[in-house]
Amino acid sequence: MKVSLKVNAVWLLGLFLLCSSEWAVADGSRVTATGGATSIEGSAGGGVVPWAVINGYGSSDEWSATAVATGVFVDDYTLKVIGASVSYDNRIELSYARQRLKLDTIGGYLEQDIYGVKYKVAGELLYTRMPQISVGVQYKTVDDFFLPEAVGARDDSGIDYYVAASKVFFDAFMGRNVLVNGTLRVTKANQGGLLGFGSADNNNYELMNEVAVALLLTDNLVLGMDYREKPDELDFAGEDDWQDFFIGWFANKNFSVVLAYADLGSIAGLDNQKGWYLSFEAAL
């Protein structure tokens, strides 16, 4: 089985991160769980929504790196994601994610690369009245345009732009802290980009609302929900909003796991795609 250089590099980074938790490398200074998880697009956030948080635990003047491996197992598809990110000064995040969607029922694969940049422009998640606000860009490019083109997509690459605001409210619900996030995204991507970008009738950017709410059950355990609006531009492949309910365990500043139940709606003509999501993240 041919494995690309990119995938190898990400696995190596992941292995490095896991091993280095045993070396005397200083953890970032930020409080546990404040880096969020990593979404399937490689940006820090929930499962499917990018949040304003910067990945990892690096605080001012500190570097962080993360690696993530995610599997989403719905009725007729399996999505595997491998990603890595680097962040600096709790201000800028550079990310890469490789998505590979196996079409269990239809046959074949859809794959894309996502390169992300996120920049915090205002606020501090925990400390300021103003929410933490970040702007982000995701450059996405699909490997094989055959199926996207067949269902009416216009382009094999595209750029998403978003702005996100996140805030933690202390002692907000049953003595526990709550994180709330709102994200506004403009996109031309179909199914997040896996079915290409734009359509025959429409080459406009669509404005999407995305929200997340999370309850910090303990200092290490987070329960939450992501909701992401999706455009529905392809005549031959209806598209629904995405939603997932997750539980995240932040074991320490080096390792976290997220288990979720995801509802991805209709994908390429097959409706009601629901199933489990499992993600492992290592941070340095």
Q: How many CA atoms lie within 13 A of 276 on its CB side?
A: 4
CA 173/CA 167 separation, integer angstroms: 14
How far out from the chain centre does Cα 27 lie?
23
Applying CB under 8 A, among 63, 161, 173, 236 the residue interacting with other proteins is: 173
By CB under 8 A, tell whether 126 contacts other proteins: yes
Judged by CB, which is closer to other proteins: 82, or 168?
168
- 97 close to 40: Cβ distance less than 8 angstroms: yes
Judged by CB, which is closer to other proteins: 201, or 219?
219
By CB under 8 A, tell whether 24 contacts other proteins: no
By CB under 8 A, tell whether 177 contacts other proteins: yes
Judged by CB, which is closer to other proteins: 243, or 279?
243
Residue 193's alpha-carbon distances to 2, 129, 154, 172, 178, in angstroms, are: 23, 35, 11, 37, 31
By CB under 8 A, tell whether 169 contacts other proteins: yes
Q: Where does this chain touch other proteins (CB under 8 A) — which range of 5-13, 25-33, 143-151, 257-265?
A: 25-33
Nearest to 192, CA basis, from 134, 225, 237, 224? 237
Applying CB under 8 A, among 170, 201, 251, 252 the residue interacting with other proteins is: 170
By CB under 8 A, tell whether 204 contacts other proteins: no
Q: How far is the CB of 221 from other proteins (least distance, A)?
A: 11
By CB under 8 A, tell whether 176 contacts other proteins: yes
CA 281/CA 249 separation, integer angstroms: 10
